[in-house]
């Protein structure tokens, strides 16, 4: 288990602030979020702030003694300290001194996942730290090494002006990189608009959790924690009636075992979901016929399920999912009962039809090859998404490489 840094918190109550206790508890939570162990809390009521050391020289000496007695490694003030106050406090207490803003930036830094967020947080932190440099080499070491050549912990003292110059240079580099990231993001956004709505595959071995995730997305199961938001709707907050209404108005399903009614022909099976909506028979039959034309089953409309091959039955399943004009189609192992050749045919058809109809497709499969038909692939192991592959980006890279080879 990683050893936590021992911290002494200092809260200054200016003019009997009614929010003082709440703010101090929040500071303790921030320190714990930064992997610190709070070993003590020192407070003081004041009517005005000491411009040199914030709390008065005598009180600073007391804080130093308490820190030594409690074994505190760092001192955290529940206030924003000026560069001068920070330097003076460090000189007297002879320990690292931080403030609330520093902790917040540390938390943002640890939780930033995208490159854009990481750049924004690092820039904000450097801009905050720049006027607070003391020449002790501490601040640069906290930038985590490898960030534009800044020094690592224990690399020795740096000249103050050299430190500042390096940080200013790093801030300049980060701003340039951020502009490039924002430009790329806008390019990708425009490309997505051109390419249309993505098709997604959830891939994993048996019992990996992919079907459970699909069922939660479809509103068939409720998550034990977290949120499921589709088209702005919080699925986890809907009651059963709300879920039924959402599915009826937004969702189409394609099942592994087809789930066709044996006594109904193809067109009647496709029209069935519309009958639940009260659509008149003549209209629902017209729409069902159009959907069967779309999946190339013009000659099989009057066939019963047992008169059709597995691939043909699954095409009926695709048509049935489309007949209600859903925003999202959920497909659970849609080719699981088909041979490899038929699986390829059905997948190509699904991909073509879904794109033409501008639908979102979320498909579960254990077959990595079939997952390549999707735009994005989420790999799931033991209930966790462990990898995300963007096939569109990979296809673009391959295309660019082929173009370069032809030029050569």
Determine the pLDDT at residue 144.
Answer: 42
pTM tops 0.75: no
Domains, the chain, with CATH or none? 5-171 (3.40.50.11060), 197-407 (3.40.50.300)
Q: Angle, nearest 10°, between helix axes 100-111 and 115-129?
A: 160
C-alpha distances out from residue 374 to 317, 323, 336, 344, Å: 19, 22, 16, 13
Determine the pLDDT at residue 115.
Answer: 72
Determine the pLDDT at residue 163.
Answer: 78
Determine the pLDDT at residue 136.
Answer: 41
Burial of 303 (0-12, 13-18, 19+ CB in 10 A): middle
At which residue do the structure tokens 């690092």 appear?
122
Sort strands 97-99 and 74-77 into parallel, antiparallel or unpaired. parallel
Strands ordered across the beta sheet of 97-99? 36-46, 5-14, 74-77, 97-99
C-alpha distances out from residue 335 to 93, 227, 293, 379, 392, Å: 69, 29, 21, 18, 22
The CA R_g of the chain, rounded to the nearest whole Å, is 31
Determine the pLDDT at residue 111.
Answer: 66
| Under 8 Å between Cβ of 167 and 129 | yes
Determine the pLDDT at residue 403.
Answer: 52
Q: pLDDT per position in the chain (408 positions), as tens? A: 568 899 999 999 988 888 888 888 888 988 988 889 999 999 988 888 888 999 888 899 999 999 999 999 999 998 888 888 988 999 999 999 999 888 888 887 776 655 777 788 888 888 888 887 754 444 344 444 434 334 444 444 446 777 788 888 888 998 888 888 778 766 755 655 555 567 899 988 777 888 888 888 888 888 888 888 887 888 888 888 888 888 888 888 888 888 899 999 999 999 998 888 888 999 999 999 999 998 889 999 999 999 999 889 988 988 998 898 888 889 888 887 777 778 888 888 888 888 888 888 899 988 777 788 888 899 888 888 888 888 766 555 544 554 555 455
Strands ordered across the beta sheet of 199-203? 251-254, 328-332, 360-365, 199-203, 376-381, 384-390
Distance CA 165, CA 144 (A): 18
Q: What HEC string does the chain produce? A: CCCCEEEEEEEEEECCCCCHHHHHHHHHHHHHHCCEEEEEEEEEEECCCECCCECCHHHHHHHHHHHHHHCCCEEEECCCCCHHHHHHHHHHHCCCEEEHHHHHHHHHHHHCCCHHHHHHHHHHHHHHHHHHCCCCCHHHHCCCCCCCCCCCCCCCCCCHHHHHHHHHHHHHHHHHHHHHHHHHHHHHHHHHHHHCCCEEEEECCCCCCHHHHHHHHCCCCCCCCCCCEECCEEHHHCCHHHHHHHHHHHEEEECCCCCCCCCCCHHHHHHHHHHHCCCCHHHHHHHHHHHHHHCCCHHHCCCCHHHCCHHHHHHHHHHHHHCCCCCEEEEECCCCCCCHHHHHHHHHHHHHHHHHCCCEEEEEECCHHHHCCCCEEEEEECCEEEEEEEHHHHHHHHHHHHHHHHHC
Q: Which of 101, 98, 72, 104 is nearest to 4 (CA)?
A: 72
What backbone torsions phi and psi does residue 342 show, to the nearest 5 degrees? -65, -35
* Terminal Cα distance for the chain, rounded: 55
């Amino acid at each position: 288990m990683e050893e936590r840094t021992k911290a002494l918190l200092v809260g200054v109550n200016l003019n009997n602030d009614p929010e003082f206790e709440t703010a101090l508890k929040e500071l303790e939570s921030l320190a714990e979020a930064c992997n610190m162990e709070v070993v003590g809390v020192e407070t003081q009521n004041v009517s005005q702030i000491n411009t040199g050391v914030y709390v008065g020289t005598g009180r600073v000496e007391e804080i130093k003694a308490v820190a030594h007695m409690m074994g505190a490694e760092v001192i955290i003030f529940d206030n924003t300290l000026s560069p001068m106050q920070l330097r003076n406090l460090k000189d007297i207490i002879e320990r690292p001194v931080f403030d609330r803003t520093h902790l917040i930036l540390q938390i943002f830094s640890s939780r930033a996942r995208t490159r854009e967020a990481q750049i924004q947080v690092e820039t904000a932190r450097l801009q905050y730290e720049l006027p607070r440099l003391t020449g002790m080499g501490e601040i640069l070491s906290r930038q985590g090494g490898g960030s534009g050549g800044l020094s690592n912990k224990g690399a020795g003292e740096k000249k103050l002006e050299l430190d500042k110059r390096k940080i200013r240079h790093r801030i300049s580099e980060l701003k340039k990189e951020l502009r490039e990231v924002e430009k790329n993001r806008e390019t990708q956004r425009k490309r997505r608009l051109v390419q249309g709505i993505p098709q997604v595959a959830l891939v994993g071995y048996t019992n990996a959790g992919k079907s459970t995730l699909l069922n939660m997305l479809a509103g068939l199961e409720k998550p034990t924690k977290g949120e499921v938001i589709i088209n702005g709707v919080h699925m986890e907050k809907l009651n059963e009636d709300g879920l039924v209404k959402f599915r009826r108005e937004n969702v189409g399903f394609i099942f592994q075992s087809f789930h066709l009614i044996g006594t109904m022909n193809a067109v009647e099976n496709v029209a069935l979901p519309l009958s639940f909506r009260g659509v008149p028979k003549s209209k629902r039959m017209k729409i069902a016929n159009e959907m069967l034309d779309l999946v190339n089953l013009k000659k099989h409309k009057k066939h019963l399920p047992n008169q059709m091959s597995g691939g043909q039955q699954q095409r009926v399943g695709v048509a049935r999912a489309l007949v209600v004009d859903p925003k999202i189609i959920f497909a659970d192992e849609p080719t699981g009962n088909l041979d490899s050749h038929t699986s390829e045919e059905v997948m190509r058809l699904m991909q073509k039809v879904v794109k033409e109809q501008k639908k979102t497709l979320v498909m579960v499969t254990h077959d990595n090859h079939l997952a390549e038909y999707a735009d994005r692939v989420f790999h799931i192991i033991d209930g966790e998404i462990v990898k995300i592959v963007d096939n569109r980006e990979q296809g673009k890279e391959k295309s660019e490489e082929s173009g370069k080879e032809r030029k050569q």
